Amino acid sequence: MSEHTIVPFGPQHPVFPEPIHFDLKLEDEKIVDAFPSIGYIHRGLEILTTEHDFMEMAYVAERICGICSFIHGMGYCQAIEGLMGIDVPKRAQYLRVIWSEFSRLHSHLMWLGLLADAMGFESLFMHSWRVRELILDIFEESTGGRVIFGVVKPGGLRRDMDADMVKTIRKQLPVIKKGIDEVAKVFLKDTSVRLRLSGMGYLSPDETRALGCVGPMARASGLAMDTRKDSPYSSYGDFSFDVVTENSCDSWARVAVRVKELYQSISIIEQAAVGLPEGGIWTKPMGFPPAADQYTRLEQPRGEVVYYVKGNATKNLARFRVRTPTFANVPSMVHLIKRAELADVGLLVLTIDPCISCTER
């Protein structure tokens, strides 16, 4: 009978962009079991509702994650708006969509670069991040920030876009698309990328459903799940786009889904910029959140995020909970690792695009 070895993997590891810890049970080089440890950077998010009122908590929500910061803030605001019955102006909804899709672009490009780095493909890593810088420059010019933006608030937005900014965005989209074309050609057609990722981390559609996968993890196994289509929010129903799926159900499929989603995001931004309505960008909330509860769903770059808030007729919320896409995808990550070789652990963890700061809230 083979003797098993327990190997600690993380939380500080060269291939991990974030602190993830596993105890891996090995039989030679094959993993037979994996035990994740969650809570390394737990921050006690909900208790902050006792220190900050419901308007200020939008700033806290944005700081859950530096990559999905805008969509986190938007998710919190949508929950508050549903709780208080606030109608968000149409212009603000369109601008939220534009910034959300730029968030998806820069998140996917960042992840693609990290994956390339984990494979040792340094030139592809740098090229992916070079294109991502174009998106961050637009964020900086339109919001004043590159990581935390502070433009979304309950009822709408704190900041508008003038005609020159919209023109700049439309002018930059073809430049960004050209850069994505160059990156996509390597990720989708390069032999070394295909050989390293194809067949690795296979997750069947039935396993994907049973494990509760969301986002690109689910879509890479053929499940057309996208909250923007299934439950359109913030005027997403006004735009034409496709839900990208792949059927090879492996790590390469997760790359292909994210690469192809870049083009869908560019199309949505162009449609929103062309059809941007005139008018105001903020409806002032009246009173305090009532003694009731509300939840809302959005599609982050990593998948569906769920926001839940409960009011108590005061300025401070009674409850504030977030179910992040990484939290939903952790069971599938553990499932994939259990069947893998030790050398593949880093890449398999990266294929779910983990955000541990989102998860350990």
Give the CB-side neighbour count of residue 174, counting CA atoms within 13 A: 4
48-75: per-residue pLDDT in tens?
A: 999 999 999 999 999 998 889 999 999 9
9-18: per-residue pLDDT in tens?
A: 878 777 777 7
Specify the pLDDT at position 92.
Answer: 98
3-state class (DSSP) for residue 32: strand
What is the chain's pLDDT, residue by residue, as a tens digit (361 residues)?
457 788 888 787 777 777 888 889 998 889 998 888 877 777 788 889 999 999 999 999 999 988 899 999 999 999 999 999 999 999 999 999 999 999 999 999 999 999 999 899 999 999 999 999 999 999 999 999 999 999 999 999 999 999 999 999 999 999 999 999 999 999 999 999 999 999 999 999 999 999 999 999 999 999 999 999 999 999 999 999 999 999 999 999 999 999 999 999 999 999 999 999 999 999 999 999 999 999 999 999 999 999 999 999 999 999 999 999 999 999 998 999 988 898 898 889 888 898 887 887 7
DSSP conformation letters of 62-118: HTT-SSSHHHHHHHHHHHHHHHHTPPPPHHHHHHHHHHHHHHHHHHHHHHHHHHHHH
Both structure tokens of 153:
């608030």
C-alpha to C-alpha distance for 287 and 296, rounded to whole angstroms = 21
Specify the pLDDT at position 2.
Answer: 54
Specify the pLDDT at position 1.
Answer: 41
Helical pair 122-143 and 163-189, crossing angle rounded to 10 deg: 170
Specify the pLDDT at position 9.
Answer: 84
- Whole-prediction pTM value? 0.95
Which domains occur in the chain, in start order? 5-359 (1.10.645.10)
Q: Which residues contact 24 (CB under 8 A, 6 or more apart)?
A: 6, 7, 8, 9, 31, 33, 34, 35, 337, 342, 345
User: What rounded mean pLDDT belongs to the chain?
Assistant: 93
179-216: per-residue pLDDT in tens?
A: 999 999 999 999 999 999 999 999 999 999 999 999 99
Nearest residue to 52 (alpha-carbon basis) of 327, 316, 336, 293: 316
